[in-house]
Each structure stands twice: as C-alpha cells, then as structure tokens.
Structure 1
C-alpha cells in the first residue's frame, strides 16, 4: 500500500493570500494537486494535512474532487513548518494500522505534476525497492518523494531545526533511486506570483 501525504497547512507568507486557493485551470491549486493524485492508479490513500485556513482548504478540495481515498488531518502545530505536517500525516497512518509499503510526500501547491509521474515513481519503487525514490527532471530532484515504510521512525523524528526531510534524505543518500520523469513540472516551486508566471512559461516549452 502506498499512502501520499499532501502538505497543505502552510501560511503562504510570500504570496498575497493563500496560494493553495489560487485558481489554476479554473480550480484552486490544492484541488488540482489532489485531482492529479487521484488519477494515479498507484496511490492507495491520500492524507491531506491542513492547518492554516483548514476549513477553506477542505472545502476547496471537496468541491472539485470526490474520492474515497482522501482523508483530511488537521495539524494544529502548522506554524512549526512542513516537518510538523509530515509527522502528523505519518502519525495518522500508523494509528490506523494500515499496511504501508511506502509513504509519499507531495506539496499541496504542486498542481502541475502529471498523474503519470506518481505511477512512474511507485512502479520504480516496487521494482527496485530503494529506501527512497524521488522524481527528477534532467538529473534534478523534485517532487514527489517516496520513502520506504522502514523509515517511519526517521520520518516521525524530523524537525525544521534539523533540516526536516532533508536530514532523512542525507542519512540514506546511498540508497536513493532517482526516477527520471522527462517532465519539468516535478522541479517547479510556487511561492510567489512571479513563480506562477515562471511555471506557466516552463510548462509551455
């Protein structure tokens, strides 16, 4: 079983308004991100971790996406950073006793990651069984990133003060599978409106 934790709790400090509610293809970013994941054949559960404006985020998803794999988990400690949301998602999965082969982490603002990327990453993970598998474009790592279930303890101990997920990635750097996607969307960040323009230009090339 592959579970995907979608981090959707942040304050969007560098964006005017909540970037997850910014319209992309006539729907909020977060709804487009979740929609793309639901179109994947390989993701069994989607844990959307909310925090800042949690009600608005949930409503934005439910309005556009209906899928029984989606569950919402609120992170009251969202101001502590993304690490707290990842840990909250992991704790939810562990507490429900699901059999987990891998845990995928995906940003809520990655609305341009095509569904095939999720399938490609999961298929490579099952084929080669690395500790970590990460989507890449032209050798550059991006998102999503998929962790073996054997790393659950490492993931629940991350903290922003110690580099968050990067600490786990660094620890297992010798057992990382970099999955080339040939798709630029996996490396694109969106923190400001200028980033949005850059994303549109990159995807039109």
Structure 2
C-alpha cells in the first residue's frame, strides 16, 4: 500500500510540474522579446525588403478569428524550426478589420506574448483604406487566416488565397526547398 501511494504521489507531482510548466507566464526577458508595431502597408513592404536574402512567411490573422488563433502556433513552430536556416516569420494582425471599438493593441500584444511570438509582429493600421496596395504586396489577405510565402529574392511565390491549398507538411516542404536555394 505504501509503495502504491508513493507511486501515485510521484505521478501527481510529475503531472502538476508538467501542468505548471505548460501554463507558466513569460519571464520579463521573454515578454520583452515579443513586440508589435502598428504599421501601414509601406512599412510592411519595407520589412519584407529589409529581409531580402531570407525566406519570409507572413501570417495574417486576428484575435477575433477562431481559425487564425487555432493555426497561429504553427507559425511559432516554423519560426523555431527554421529561423536558424534563414526563415523569417512575420505576423500581421488584421484586428482593425473587426469592430473598431473592440480593437486593442494590448489585446494583440498579450496574445503574441502568450504564444511566444518572438519574430516581427505588425498590426495594420488601415487595412481597409490600403486594400489595393496590401493585396498587391501579400495577396488577398482579407479572408483570414492568410499565409504568404516569399523567396530569398523577395518575390511572393505562394499565398493561401491563390493556392494551391497546402497541408502543413506540404508547406514545410516548400519552405525547405526555398531555404535550400542559394541567396
């Protein structure tokens, strides 16, 4: 009986430790690595040009978009997996497309911190007023979630809106192919 209770106590402690580990909040240092900037399309275009020579994956999303929130962790995973090889992940919040009174930069930042999004994060200030320039730059991102992939020369080579639709594995393979190309 004593051995069984000791085993159960040990399992309980391990479970509690795992639960605490998964739900821990960010340290101040980690939180400081997660930032978000409110930008216009021209500033987003500059961020893409500034990363020429790298492969870029842009995720357009919003805190009020359930599929976006569900898929966002994949962007963080890709960043962790491929950043050292030359992938730059960028997130572009489309929160301002929702009800204006519900928009909160702090809400977007909190979400990004919770997801540990330590890559460039942007909030488009006027996506509806800059629609033409935005679509020209990253494709029809008004149906979110939306992904756009750029090669090392800064050319947009695929978007989730233009297709073909890719599974996570197919997108990873496409990223790996682009990373294998010389800058």
* Global fold match (TM > 0.5): no
TM bracket, shorter-chain basis = 0.3 to 0.5
Larger Rg: 2
Q: Which has the higher helix share?
A: 2
Query: How does the TM-score come out when normalised to structure 2?
Result: 0.39
Higher relative contact order (CA 8 A, sep 6+): 2
Q: Which has the higher strand share?
A: 1
